[in-house]
A and B are shown apart, each in its own frame.
Chain A
Amino acid sequence: MENEKKKSALIELKKVFKYYFMGENVVKAVDGISIKVNQGEFVAIMGPSGSGKSTSMNLVGSLDVPTKGHIFLDGEDISTFSESDLAQLRGRKIGFIFQSFNLIPNLTAKENVMLPMTFQDIPEEEREIKAEELLKLVELEDRMDHYPNQLSGGQKQRVAIARALANDPEVILADEPTGNLDTKTGSIVMHFLDKLHKQGKTIIMITHEPELAEYHAEIVYWLRDGKLERVTRKKKGKRYVDGEIKRLVQARK
Chain B
Amino acid sequence: MIKDYFVLSVKNLKHRGLRSWLTLLGILIGVGAVVALISLGDGLQAAVASQFGVSSTDLITVQAGGINYGPPGSGAVIPLTTDDLTQIKNLPSVKAAIGRDIVPVKASFNQKLVFTYATNIPSGSDRQFVYSQINAQAISGRLLKDGDIGKIVIGYNFYTDSNGFGKAVIPGNTIVIQNKSFQVVGILARQGSFIFDNVIYMNQNDLDSISNYGNKIDTIAIEPASKDLMNRTVSDVENLLLRLRNVKKDAENFQISTPEASLNQVKQIINGVQIFIAIVASISIFIGAIGIVNTMYTSVLERRKDIGIMKSIGATNFQIFIQFFIESSLLGLVGGIIGIIFGEFIAIFGIIGINSLIGGHLPITINLGLIFGVLIGSFLIGGAAGIVPALNAANQNPVEVLRDE
Contact = CB atoms under 8 A, between A and B. Distances in A.
Contacts of B310: 104, 115, 119
A87 B11 contact: no
A115 B323 CA distance: 13
Contact of A90 (B312, B318, B319, B399): B312
B306 interface: yes
B399 A87 contact: no
A167 interface: yes
A100 B405 contact: yes
A172 to B, nearest CB: 12
Interface string A61-90: 101100000000000000000011001101
Contacts, number: 70
Main secondary structure of the interface of B (DSSP, over half): helix
B312 A88 contact: no
B402 A102 contact: yes
A98 B11 CA distance: 24
A158 interface: no
Interface in A95-133: 96, 98, 100, 102-107, 111, 115-116, 118-121, 124
B398 A120 contact: no
A91 B314 contact: yes
A108 to B, nearest CB: 9
Q: How large is the interface on B (under 10, 10 to 19, 20 to 34, 35 or more residues)?
A: 20 to 34
A183 interface: no
Given A58-B399, A104-B306, A83 B317 contact: yes
A92 interface: yes
A163 interface: yes
A105 B11 CA distance: 11
Contact of B4 (A61, A100, A118): A118
A96 B11 contact: no
Given A64-B399, A104-B306, A106-B15, A84 B312 contact: no
Given A64-B399, A116-B314, A167-B314, A102 B309 contact: yes
Contacts of A58: 399
A107 B7 CA distance: 11
Given A63-B399, A104-B306, A96 B317 contact: no
Contacts of B314: 87-88, 90-92, 116, 119-120, 167
25 contacts: A63-B312, A63-B398, A84-B318, A87-B311, A87-B316, A87-B317, A88-B314, A88-B316, A90-B313, A90-B314, A91-B315, A92-B314, A100-B405, A103-B309, A104-B310, A105-B306, A106-B15, A107-B11, A115-B313, A116-B313, A118-B1, A119-B313, A119-B316, A124-B4, A163-B313
Interface of A: 54, 58, 61, 63-64, 83-84, 87-88, 90-92, 96, 98, 100, 102-107, 111, 115-116, 118-121, 124, 163, 166-167
Given A64-B399, A84-B318, A119-B315, 18 more contacts: A61-B312, A63-B398, A63-B402, A83-B316, A87-B316, A87-B319, A90-B312, A90-B313, A92-B314, A100-B405, A102-B309, A103-B309, A104-B306, A105-B306, A106-B15, A116-B314, A119-B314, A124-B4
